[in-house]
Amino acid sequence: MADQKGTDAHTLEQVLESALGSVDNAEEAVLEEARHLGFDEDDLHKIGMSVRECLVNAVVHGNRYNRRKKVHLKVVRTPDCLTIVIGDEGDGFDPAKVPDPLEGDNLLRGSGRGVMLMQAFMDEFQVSQRSPQGTEVRMLKCRAKSE
């Protein structure tokens, strides 16, 4: 994961309720940061959808809609890249245990494609254990270098 710390970094942090309404709010907040960086419409869609998928996982699978548990959003904007960190307070999550949605009968499953889409849309995607409890997802997207 690239180091996003630096004097030019701008950081946004929010603590969100474990409700689906948080998904739209987080998506819009991250997209506002992404627009500052000048991402094109296609990349904005990929970033927004990755945030949406990640927030849904945090609210539904991580915190299981538990109102006492929060979702933690952090966005770090540097001149070329956006780092998005989303944490929940759930029981933890091992991405290696997610069935491959491209494999055999899994193709016809009604769910289980979110992680794959985030991996496809973002430049970097990492899952780790959050302290003291839960899961933290860190995603990075950088602007394409102009010729």
Partner 1 sequence: MSVKLTSRQVGDVTVVDAAGRITLGEGASSFRDTIRDLAASGHKKLLLNLAEISYIDSSGIGELVSAFTSLANQGGVVKLLNLTKRVQDLLQITKLYTVFEVHNDEAKAVQSFQ
DSSP 82-110: EEEEEE--SS---GGGS--TTSGGGGG-S
30/74 Cα distance (integer angstroms): 9
Does residue 23 interact with partner 1 by CB under 8 A?
A: yes
Question: To the nearest whole angstrom, how small is the minimum distance from the Cβ of residue 48 to partner 1?
Answer: 9
Does residue 113 interact with partner 1 by CB under 8 A?
A: yes
Q: Residue for token digits 């254990």?
A: 129
Measure the CA angle with vertex 139, ends 43 and 46; round to 5°.
20
Question: To the nearest whole angstrom, how small is the minimum distance from the Cβ of residue 129 to partner 1?
Answer: 23
Does residue 120 interact with partner 1 by CB under 8 A?
A: yes
Query: Which residue, 12 or 116, is less far from partner 1 as judged by CB?
Result: 116
Q: By CB under 8 A, which span of 31-39, 74-82, 110-118, 139-147 interacts with partner 1? A: 110-118
